[in-house]
Structure formats: C-alpha cells, structure tokens
Chain A
Amino acid sequence: MGSAVSGRPSRPENRLNGVNMRLFQSLRRRLRSFLKKDSSNAQLSEELQFHLERQTEENIVHGMPPEEARWAARASFGNLPTAIEECYEARGVAWLDDLAQDVRYGLRTMVKNRSFTVVTILTLALGIGACTAIFSLVNAVLIQSLPYGEPDRLVYAFTPNPLWNLPAEIFGPSNADFFDLKKQSKSFSATTLFAQTTYNLAGNGRAERVGAAKVDADFFGTLEVAPELGHGFDDRDEQLGNDHVAVISHALWLTCWVGVPMCLVAR
C-alpha cells in the first residue's frame, strides 16, 4: 500500500498541477498549524471532546446511566494523551517546535553560566581564527598556483651549507656561482638571480622602509610576467651607471604615489 505514491489516471497534463496543488495545500496547512499553535491545540481538544460527548450520548441511548456512559466513553477511547501527542506530531511541524524549544533552552543555559559561555565562545573564536589563518597560508602556498607563467616549471636553486646549522634553502648560490651556472647549465631555459633586501624610501618629507629584491635583467622574462605599467629590466639596466632603476609594487604605487601614472617618470 505504501508503494503507491500518486494515482491520477486521466489527463496526464494535469497530473503535475494536481500534485503541486496538493503539496501547496499541505504546506499551507502545516504552516498554519505551526503559526497558530494555540488555536490548533484548542481545535484538537474541542474535536476530541466532541467525540467523547457523542460516544457518551450513544452509550446513554443504549441504556447506560449517564455517569457510567461517560466513563465507558472515556475508557473506549484508549490512551488520550498519546492520541493528542500523535495528532500534534501528525502536523509534520513538531520538529520545528522542538528545535525552537532546544534553542530557547540553550540560550537560557548560556545566560545562566556566563563564564562557561565566555570560555566556550573564546575557544571557538580562537579555533576558527587559527583555522582560517592556517587555511589562508595553505591556500596561498599549496593550493593556489604561483601567479607566474608555467609555475610548474619554476624551480628554486639553493646551495646548502652544512657548516651552518640552518635550513638548507637559506643559502642561494653566490653571484659568481650563479653566472657560472647560467653559462654552463643546459637544463634551464631561463635563469634569474634575486637577493632579498630592504631599502629606505625617502621623499616628500617622509621616509619608509620597504622590502625589495635585487634582480638581474632576466627576472621578468624568467617568471613570464610583465609590469602593469612601463617596462621591466633589460640588458642596458645592468650596465654600470645605468643600474639605478626599480619596478615598484602596485601597493607601493598606491600608498606613496596615490596611483598617479605620471610618478613613473619622476625621480
């Protein structure tokens, strides 16, 4: 019996409408019971009351004294509280009610145990914060690919120095070693050199310390990126006396030059 879901033998084009209509009615009915809970409960109680009175009358008609008739009606009904409970569950919104009750109970308990609540919220906040921070790092380093052309072909060369008790990747090849490598190695289609450093950036009455990297002319070509404005470095920039050139980051451009393109020709 439970296997038959719906049966509307004629007019298949109306079938969907019929089913939708029923779902709509069903939803409306459930919503009304939920929103007008008191009225629904009162109606249920009136309905059951009517049943008991009707049965009592019937018993009296069959010759029972009124008191006995009432008692018999009540007895024949079966378990009244269970019936009320099951009618309530039959409305199909009992879970919503239970949820609201649980939430209210939770809030009351939290207000009562202030210190516990504070500790719990702090623990959650720190936990969520830590997870977010770790994820940002993992996302940037491991998940997102590097914002360069063919990031899977980029390698980072380092020269470990066992004399120093430091992580191997701290030491890169010296400049002389690098230029030898560049000349003799056939394994790389392009190589570039960079050394991280910091500079003082002064002007317009203020000075700032900025992170920077000293690079060679092949830097942008190797990474397969180009500056947003202007141009990267070329061989002329490596000549002695011509080497006072810089490419600034977008962030620095915005903070120190307020994003004005003209600044790029200013000294």
Chain B
Amino acid sequence: MRLSLTTKSTELLQGTVDLLILKVLSLEPMHGWAIAQRINQLSKEVLRVNQSALYPALHRLEHQAWIEAEWGESENNRRAKYYSLTKAGRARLEAEEKSWDRLSAAVRVVLKTV
C-alpha cells in the first residue's frame, strides 16, 4: 500500500510531514527534491510526500526557525536551496519523536485490546 501525505487532510498528517522532514534533515542538509526522495526510500516506497505539501511545510518550518536554508550547488551542478536543521530544530525533532512514540504506542495498545 502507498500512502500519500498532504498537508490538506488533517493536523495529524501535517505534523507527520514536519516530523519526517526534520528527521531526514538531521542526517545532512538537503534540497526539497532530495528530501522527498529520501522519505520515499527510507519508508521502502510506502510514504510519498506530496510535493505540493512538501514546499509549504519547508517554508513554514523555515519561518518558524526550526530549519534554515542556504543556496548551494546541487549534485547536477545547479543552484538549489539546501535546508538544514537549526539548533532549536534538533531539540524540536527530539521532542516530536518522543511524542510520536507515545502516540503510536498508545494507539497500538488501544487497537490490541479492543
């Protein structure tokens, strides 16, 4: 099954996109296209971040100063906007991961018992 993540649907999914972006950027600075590719790869092609949701999310995170952007040279020798985590963003990721673990564990418990 393939899941398409958009910001339009629900707050939960929007938070999920933010979390995935922060996680992927914790590895290394990346441009938007690579972020989408990496999420797709890491999820074994289950999660597909809708591109029209990816860029608003990136801009929102940038304007909230969780991530910062810098123009750099891409792998195909063109100017691309590279995003990287800020110090605050790293702390944010840690907190979001914890809260995601709590949430998913709780949902799993409910699904198993009822």
Q: Which residues of A contact B (CB under 8 A)?
A: 1-4, 6-9, 18-19, 21-23, 25-26, 29-30, 33, 43-44, 46-48, 50-51, 53-55, 57, 76-80, 82-83, 86-87, 89-92
Contacts and interface: CB of A to CB of B under 8 A. Distances in A.
Contacts, number: 120
B65 to A, nearest CB: 4
Given A18-B87, A26-B64, A50 B78 contact: yes
Given A1-B100, A47-B80, A92-B60, 10 more contacts: A2-B11, A3-B99, A6-B92, A7-B92, A22-B66, A25-B86, A50-B31, A57-B76, A78-B53, A86-B52
Interface string B70-87: 010010101111000011
B66, B91, B98, B103: residue with the most chain A Cβ atoms closer than 10 Å:
B91
Contacts of A26: 63-65
Nearest to A80: B52
Contact of B91 (A18, A55, A83): A18
Judged by DSSP, the binding face of A is helix
A4 B56 contact: no
Given A1-B16, A22-B88, A26-B65, A54 B76 contact: yes
Interface of B: 6-7, 11-12, 15-16, 18-19, 31-33, 50-53, 55-57, 59-60, 62-66, 68, 71, 74, 76, 78-81, 86-88, 91-92, 94-96, 98-100, 103
Given A79-B52, A83-B56, A25 B65 contact: yes
Contacts of A44: 55, 59
17 contacts: A1-B15, A4-B98, A7-B92, A7-B96, A9-B94, A25-B68, A33-B63, A44-B59, A46-B81, A50-B78, A50-B80, A51-B51, A53-B78, A77-B51, A77-B52, A91-B63, A92-B64
B95 A90 contact: no
A51 B100 CA distance: 29
A78 B79 CA distance: 23
What 7 A-B pairs have minimum CB-CB distances, sorted nearest first?
A7-B95, A78-B52, A86-B56, A1-B15, A25-B65, A83-B52, A90-B59
